[in-house]
Amino acid sequence: MLEQTVQIVSNARDTDSYFRLVLRAPQIAPLIQPGQFSHIRVPTLKDALLRRPFSIFQVEGDTFSILYKTIGKGTDALARMGPGEELSVIAPLGHGFTVPKRGGETPLLVAGGYGMAAMYLLAQRSPQKGIVFVGGRKRVDILCEKEFLALGWDVRATTEDGSHGEKGLVTQPLLAEIGNRKSEIGNRKLFACGPTGLLKAVGKIAEEFNVPAELSMDEHMCCGVGVCLTCVIPVKVDDGWEYQRTCTEGPVFDSRQIVWAEGK
């Protein structure tokens, strides 16, 4: 993990309110593992003290990129920055996904919205190509489909309004796939990133069909480096449960470890 001032290579609109930010970070880029994140200080933000966490999307040469949605003051300020400007970044952070071994399980990835960003490196570095189930409210929420297709992955898109792919929730085609190929279950593994409701649904499917699953739990974070305890979640351990930090012990956890909050 390094704290560095890095330069923006590009910061362009992807679709609607989603942007791709490419940063030149020669010392950070080679260290990045799938599912890890970066903690970025936006210097043009009035209250610039608090960093914002973003999954690392792609790594190319001495650069890495993030794919972000503008939803508030930090991401709005970030979207107004341009090439040549500098940002302070701490990365790579957190415990990421376990990359499948060659000849091992076939990965089934499940992503909601910007959750796709956390999945790309896993798909790229997995020796087995699998299926990526991507869901969103509407067409513009289905991100980087082309990139996954270019990797040779099977992409199954779902939108709640039916404007792209199958109409409905992303768990529908996932359930159909698992249900139709029960004989292959022993050789499959689920990986998911997205809203809590989606993660909980994937966790339930994993339990019901006895498939291993790794879930990226993106909680609100302050320090991002294990000090403030803002990001803790209850996690099962041998003799009960304990709070663990999603920024350091996570964000990726084995689904069997997670204690879900009632009604969440």
Residue 237 touches ligand FES, criterion: CB under 6 A:
no
Report in angstroms how near the CB of residue 214 gets to ligand FAD at its nearest: 14
**Cβ-contact 177, 204 below 8 angstroms:** no
Say which entry of ligand FES, ligand FAD, none residue 228 contacts (CB below 5 to 8 A, set by partner kind): ligand FES
Q: Which residues in the 201-230 window bind ligand FES by CB under 6 A?
A: 221-224, 226-230
- Contacted by 252, from ligand FES, ligand FAD, none: CB < 5 to 8 Å by type: none
Under rule CB under 6 A, residue 2 binds ligand FES: no
Which of 77, 231, 233, 252 is close enough to bind ligand FES by CB under 6 A?
231
CB 95 within 8 A of CB 250: yes
DSSP-assigned letters across all residues of 35-78: T-EEEEE-TTSTTTTS-EEEE--EEETTEEEEEEE--SHHHHHH
Cis peptide bond N-terminal to 43, omega within 30:
no
Residue 64 as a binder of ligand FAD (CB under 6 A): the answer is: no
- Residues in region 29-58 near ligand FAD by CB under 6 A: 37, 52-55
* φ/ψ bin of 78: left (φ > 0), alpha (ψ from -120 to 50), beta (otherwise): alpha
Kindly state the smallest distance separating residue 75's Cβ from ligand FES, in Å. Answer: 18
- Torsional sign, CA 224, 228, 231, 235: positive
Q: For residue 169, state whether it binds ligand FAD (rule: CB under 6 A).
A: no
Element (H, E) at 201: helix 196-209
Residues 116-145 that bind ligand FES (CB under 6 A): none
Q: Which residue is nearest to ligand FAD (CB)?
A: 72
d(CA 67, CA 144): 9
Question: Residue count at the site for ligand FAD (CB under 6 A)?
Answer: 21
Among residues 117, 142, 170, 192, the one that binds ligand FAD under rule CB under 6 A: 117
Taking the complex as a whole, how short is the minimal distance between the CB of residue 225 and ligand FES, in angstroms?
Answer: 7
The window from 99-107, 121-129, 138-146, 214-222 that contacts ligand FAD (CB under 6 A) reads: 214-222
Question: 51, 43, 38: which is closest to 81 by C-alpha?
Answer: 43
β 131-136/154-159 pair status: parallel
Tell me how far apart the alpha carbons of residues 15 and 4 are, in angstroms, rounded to a whole number.
Answer: 29
Which residues are near ligand FAD by CB under 6 A? 37, 52-55, 66-69, 71-75, 114, 117, 218-221, 251
Query: Contact positions toward ligand FES, by CB under 6 A?
Result: 221-224, 226-231, 245, 247
